Structure 1
Amino acid sequence: MRRAPSTSLVDLLGETRAQVVDTLRPAPASVAQVAARLELSEPAVRRHLQVLERDGLVVAETVRRQGPGRPTTRYALSDRARRLYPDHSADFANELLDFVENEHGRHSLLQFLRWRQGRQAARYAAELADVHDPGERVARLAELLSADGFLADVSETVGPDGRPLLKLHQGHCAISDVAAEHPEICAYEAALFQRLLGGRLSRRLTIAGGDGICVCTITPPDSIPTTTPANEPT
């Protein structure tokens, strides 16, 4: 019996592939099992699975039979496919941060954000250690942010005083639902960038604030800081 897939999956994948994905959601299944559940031919199911595998939405796994016989190929949803379904992790994170602040005080929330900034700074600083040109350093940071899901890039402009300025854009915020409830996260992120890049940095636009994009304007330093002390938001 066919099960009705969610409207969002149908819009994204088309009805039949959405049904295939929905069928695999509870547990991995073989081509024959999917075909039987959806009342489709096995060749048709195999074609849909090939497309879904190409798009990174399913993964094939070989299962050896107990006893004689050839191994069976089963298909399972990838992490990418599971992210197409409702995810309440942002609600959980907001509740956790609210609990910390309400039960232990605002200083505990800020202590957590300082701790998080330190972890991020250590990871990014290791990647930036051999990049000494200020412009290249911002560009490399943008690459690292993009790898973390923040869709970052850099543009160059000139300030009113004629000095070169760099603009770090983030077209996506991987934690926007949490940052919208706790704007301190944005402030500590800007402080993190200041800590890594040196120079002067200001942020006027944030996705969490409803602007559709995050933009930091950076006046590059004359030299890259050799240490990265903990920075507080200004």
Structure 2
Amino acid sequence: MSEKSVPETRSVDGDTRRHIMLMLLKHGPSTASDLAAHLDMSAAGVRRHLDILVSEGLGETVDRRPRSATAARGRPAKAFRLTARGRSHFGHSYDQLAADALGAIRELGGEEAVRKLAHKRIKRIVDGVTPAGEDEESIQRTAGELADAFDRHGYATTVTRAGAGIQICQHHCPVAHVAAEHPELCVAEHEIISSLVGLHVQPLATITGGHGICTTNIPLTPIENLPEERSGS
């Protein structure tokens, strides 16, 4: 084997491993077979990468509950998920510097100044997203555009139908550390989503709350009796 081929092989392995990490980030606990089906690899090949992630403290194993009574009689499927250290490899865009800056803004201008900055930030992220009309298809299209916009900014976002609503799920938050200290960031995000889809939204889970995922539910029901300050915006 030539000296040149060794780093090339490691680079390919590194790219594959990062892709696996991204899939775990977006889809949550997954088995080697699940990942292999998406990556067009053998389960054994994927498992080798997963074992390395576990050995490096970037991944961990969990027992995934069977979805059917028949499967429940067998052994639980071993699934893999990222650890907090694994998630940190996808970065936190602002971290302590931003937390300090927002703290200073709060001291100088109060909560309203932080709220305005939070709204400005989210508006920049969703710039170009088409506001929804009143029909369900339009709302779902806007939700998809929102998911794409957040995904482009590092949120590892998916959108799914859930019962009578639509859920936008962020499997990573690049400002989670800052949002834990300044919840105005999350509030502004939900308000902008609500404004664009034209419906009330329900935050069901947050990464800052320890859930490992931010889930925003969009019930497919019209907004009624909007507060005067929002209805005129």
1:188 alignment partner in structure 2: 188
1:49 aligns with 2:49: no
Q: Which aligned pairs between 1:89-168 and structure 2 lie closer than 5 A? A: 89-125=94-130, 133-158=138-163, 164-168=164-168
SS at match of 2:218: strand
* Change in CA separation of 1:157 and 1:84 when aligned onto 2, cut-off 3 Å: closer
Structure 2 vs 1, CA of residues 49 and 113 (structure 1 numbering), >3 Å: closer, same or farther? same
Change (3 A) 1:183 1:85: closer
Rounded Cα–Cα distance in structure 1 between residues aligned with 2:222 and 2:190: 20
CA distance in 1, matches of 2:90, 2:218: 38
Instruction: Give the gaps of 5 or more residues in structure 2.
Output: 17-87, 224-228
Unaligned stretches of 5+ residues in structure 1: 1-41, 58-82, 159-163, 224-229
Distance 1:231 1:138 in 2: 20
| Rounded Cα–Cα distance in structure 1 between residues aligned with 2:166 and 2:126 | 20
SS in 2 for 1:200: coil
TM-score normalised by length of structure 1: 0.53
Q: 1:86 to 1:153 in 2, by over 3 A?
A: closer
Tell me, in whole angstroms, the C-alpha distance in 2 between the residues paired with 1:117 and 1:90: 17
What is the rounded CA distance, in whole Å, between the counterparts of 1:222 and 1:194 in structure 2?
11
Secondary structure of 2:161's partner?
strand
RMSD between superposed Cα atoms in Å: 3.6
Which structure has the higher relative contact order (CA within 8 Å, separation 6+)? 2
Percent of aligned positions that are identical: 20
Shift >6 Å, 4+ stretches: 85-88
Q: Is the 8 A contact 1:192 1:231 kept in 2?
A: no
Name the CA distance, whole Å, in 2 between partners of 1:105 and 1:187: 16
Q: What is the identity, as a one-letter code, of the residue corresponding to 1:171?
A: H
**Structure with the higher fraction of residues in helix conformation:** 2
Structure of larger gyration radius: 1
Q: 1:86 to 1:196 in 2, by over 3 A?
A: closer
Indicate if the aligned counterparts of 1:121 and 1:196 stay in contact, CA closer than 8 A: no
- Counterpart mapping for 1:72-83 below 5 A: none
Corresponding residue pairs, total: 152
Find out whether 1:204 has 2:209 as its counterpart: no
Alignment partners' CA distance in 1, 2:159 and 2:94 = 30
Question: C-alpha displacement at 1:190, in angstroms?
Answer: 0.8
1: CA distance, partners of 2:197 / 2:176: 23
Seen in structure 2, the aligned counterparts of structure 1 residues 51 and 168 have a Cα distance that, compared at 3 Å, is same
The AA in structure 1 aligned to 2:160 is S
Give the whole-Å Cα distance in 2 for the aligned partners of 1:96 and 1:186: 17
TM-score, normalization by structure 2: 0.54
Deviation at 1:168, TM superposition (A): 1.6
| Equivalent residue number for residue 67 of structure 2 | none
1:201 maps to amino acid: V
Deviation by residue 1:99-139 (Cα, 9 ceiling, x = unmatched)? 1111232222122123223323434349x89x962223223
